[in-house]
Amino acid sequence: MTTPPLTLGIETSCDETAVAVLDPEGRILINVLASQIAAHRPYGGVVPEIASREHLVALPLLASRALETVPEPEAVAVTARPGLVGSLLVGVRFAAAFAWARGLPLAAVDHLEGHLLSPFLDLDGGPADPVPDPALALVASGGHSSWYLLSGEAFRRLGRTRDDAAGEVFDKVAQALGLPYPGGPAVDRLARTGNPAAVPMPRPRLKDSETDFSFSGLKSAAIRLIRERGLAASDEASAPQAVRDLLAAFEAAVVEQLLRPLPLLVERHRPEAIAVAGGVAANTLLRREVVRAGERLGVTVRLAPRALTTDNAAMIARAGQMALLRGETADPRRVDASGRQAWQPPGMRSTS
Ligand code: KG4
Ligand code: ZN
């Protein structure tokens, strides 16, 4: 295979049911999703059983509606790992049946590979860009915060959080203030009117690694300050200045942690580009600071379009196209979901 096929992408690894179709050049022909946030909100995080049930209801409807408007797919790509096993299985079985019934090739995609490719997709109808080689890429989401090296056809992890993911700490601190789940976007908005210098925040450093980082100390410090100072913000509009200041300081510290390994990684790997993806890549301060760091270091920055930072199926279809080009196909009769035991849904990890 030298050009990728027109590909149907399916994503059900967590709490978004998503369907997309990409043409052979990686143009997004359709990209739709059904969010489950409202169904999980009363529980303060993603409830696995509710997620699977919602996917079961939403996926067939979403797929049939999406397929009405585009040419017949020539291949199917589906997220097979990592994620909630029950949720992954809904997508994987649907994709396998779809591919098997039509005799189409099937790609079983790693969700993170999808995120890594999202900065190279175009929301304005253009073709996907080739991934510069080598590139450094940060994925910061509710479940992951790692730096990768993209080179040739592989991606290798270079650094990671040792404890919580960045999105998770945004959500936990927002929750401690009484803000609704997921709190990342509200923290982003409130921090814009806060003064980061007004509140002291620790800058934890790991003694044994220059490329890994940690968020749990920061999270605990922010939650301790919230409790000591009796801070609360049940809705954004009435949030007091002290809350905005605390969130600005906290957000600045999170962004600093994420970007701390960057100069060293640039020096070591001499990348052609720095790419940033995942839900937290929607964060205003992170976007600004990465662009600044890129200018300082003389490296082009590729930010995922905001609408493709959170989970979506366009990135999965693109990762599937790349896998199919490499000749990696899955057998629809045997393909399985792999949840990885360590993976827990955002909002449902224990607070420490
Ligand atoms: O990639 P994603 O949709 O799901 C996972 O794979 O985890 O990321 C969701 C995470 C949530 O923790 C959410 O609070 C965070 O991304 N997030 C943000 C922003 N938008 C979403 N965090 C900070 N600032 C934002 N603007
Ligand atoms: Zn994700």
- Does residue 284 sit in the same domain as residue 145? yes
- Residue pLDDT tens, the chain, 352 long: 788 999 999 999 988 999 999 999 999 999 999 998 888 888 878 888 899 999 999 999 999 999 999 999 999 999 999 999 999 999 999 999 999 999 999 999 999 999 999 999 999 999 999 999 999 999 999 988 999 999 987 889 999 999 999 999 999 999 999 998 889 999 999 999 999 999 999 988 899 999 999 999 999 999 999 999 999 998 899 999 999 999 999 999 999 999 999 999 999 999 999 999 999 999 999 999 999 999 999 999 999 999 999 999 999 999 999 999 999 999 999 998 876 644 444 444 443 3
- Does residue 145 sit in the same domain as residue 256? yes
Give the per-residue pLDDT at 339. 65
Report yes or no on 255 lying in a domain.
yes
| Residue 217 beta carbon below 6 angstroms from any ligand 1 atom | no
pTM value surpassing 0.85: yes
- Does residue 151 sit in the same domain as residue 277? yes
- Does residue 143 sit in the same domain as residue 35? no
| Residue 167 beta carbon below 6 angstroms from any ligand 1 atom | yes
Give the per-residue pLDDT at 72. 97
- Return the residue whose CA atom lies nearest to atom 7 of ligand 1: 142
Distances (CA, A) of 159 to 153, 218, 264, 272, 278: 19, 18, 11, 18, 16
| Residue 170 beta carbon below 6 angstroms from any ligand 1 atom | yes
- Alpha carbon dihedral 308, 45, 13, 121, in 10-degree steps, equals 10
Q: How far is the CA of 186 from the centre of ligand 1 (A)?
A: 11
Q: How far is the CA of 325 from the centre of ligand 1 (A)?
A: 30
Overall number of domains in the chain: 2
Give the per-residue pLDDT at 260. 96
- What would the two tokens of residue 225 be? 């300050």
- Does residue 139 sit in the same domain as residue 193? yes
- R_g of the chain computed on alpha carbons: 20
Q: How far is the CA of 310 from the centre of ligand 2 (A)?
A: 6
CA distance 337 to 22: 23
Residue 144 CA: which ligand 1 atom is closest? 7
- Return the residue whose CA atom lies nearest to atom 21 of ligand 1: 279
Strand partners, 16: 35
**Residue 298 CB coordination number (10 Å):** 7
Note down the domain range covering 240: 135-304
Report how far Cα 158 is from the mean position of its chain's Cα atoms.
17
339-342: long-range contacts, CB 8 A cutoff, minimum separation 24: 339/81, 339/82, 339/83, 339/84, 339/85, 339/88, 340/81, 340/82
Q: How far is the CA of 239 from the centre of ligand 1 (A)?
A: 21
Give the per-residue pLDDT at 117. 96
Report yes or no on 155 lying in a domain.
yes
Give the per-residue pLDDT at 341. 41
Check residue 309 and report its DSSP letter: T
Q: How far is the CA of 167 from the centre of ligand 2 (A)?
A: 10
Backbone angles phi, psi at 170, to 5 degrees: -60, -45
- Return the residue whose CA atom lies nearest to atom 5 of ligand 1: 142
- Does residue 272 sit in the same domain as residue 149? yes
Strand partners, 30: 21
Residue 143 CA: which ligand 1 atom is closest? 7
| Residue 333 and residue 320 in contact, taking contact as beta carbons nearer than 8 Å | no
User: From its phi and psi, is residue 350 left (phi > 0), alpha (psi between -120 and 50) or beta?
Assistant: beta
- Does residue 117 sit in the same domain as residue 258? no
- Does residue 177 sit in the same domain as residue 291? yes
- Does residue 153 sit in the same domain as residue 266? yes
Q: How far is the CA of 204 from the centre of ligand 2 (A)?
A: 26
Report yes or no on 338 lying in a domain.
no
Element (H, E) at 171: helix 166-177
CA distance 170 to 147: 19
| Residue 287 and residue 281 in contact, taking contact as beta carbons nearer than 8 Å | yes
